[in-house]
Amino acid sequence: MSSVKKKRKAKINRHKRKKRRRMNRHKKK
């Protein structure tokens, strides 16, 4: 069960990283 939770967390982190990158681009403008 713990391995499944880890996989789910990795997926969420990947999405968060993408969102952060997009936000930084807007900040520079």
pTM, two decimals, is 0.28
pLDDT tens-digit series, residues 7-28 = 887 777 776 666 666 666 666 6
Query: What pLDDT is recorded for position 14?
Result: 74
If one counts the domains in the chain, the total is: 1
SS (H, E, C) 1-29: CHHHHHHHHHHHHHHHHHHHHHHHHHHHC
Query: What pLDDT is recorded for position 8?
Result: 82
| CA gap 6, 28 in Å, rounded | 33
Range of 7's domain? 1-28
Say if residue 4's pLDDT is above 80: yes
Give the pair of three-digit tokens for residue 25.
């681009």
Higher pLDDT, 29 or 9: 9
